[in-house]
Amino acid sequence: MERLQKLLAACGIASRRGAEKIILEGRVQVNGVTAQLGKTAQLGVDIITVDGVQLTARDKLVYLMLNKPCGYLTTKRDERGRKTVMELVADAGLNIFPVGRLDKDSEGLLLFTNDGGFANIVLHPSFDKQKTYKVEVRGDIHEAARLMRQPVDIDGHAVHARSVEIIRSSGDTGVLNITIVEGRNRQIRKMCAVCGVSVVSLKRISIGKLELGDLESGKWRYLTMDEVLSLG
Q: List residues with catalytic annotation.
A: 103
The CA-based diameter of the chain, rounded to the nearest angstrom, is 66
Q: What is the DSSP string of 81-134?
A: ---BGGGTTGGG-S--EEES---TT-EEEEEEES-HHHHHHHH-GGG---EEEE
Q: Is residue 174 within a helix (H) or strand (E), and if so which, with residue range?
A: strand 173-180
Q: Are 24 and 180 in contact (CB under 8 A)?
A: no
Q: What angle do CA 152, 109, 64 make, to 5 degrees?
A: 135
* C-beta neighbour count of 230 within 10 angstroms: 13
Q: Are 149 and 160 in contact (CB under 8 A)?
A: yes
d(CA 165, CA 145): 8
Sequence-ordered list of residues with C-beta below 8 angstroms from that of 151, at least 6 positions apart, any chain: 158, 159, 160
Strand order across the 33-34 sheet: 33-34, 28-30, 48-50, 53-54
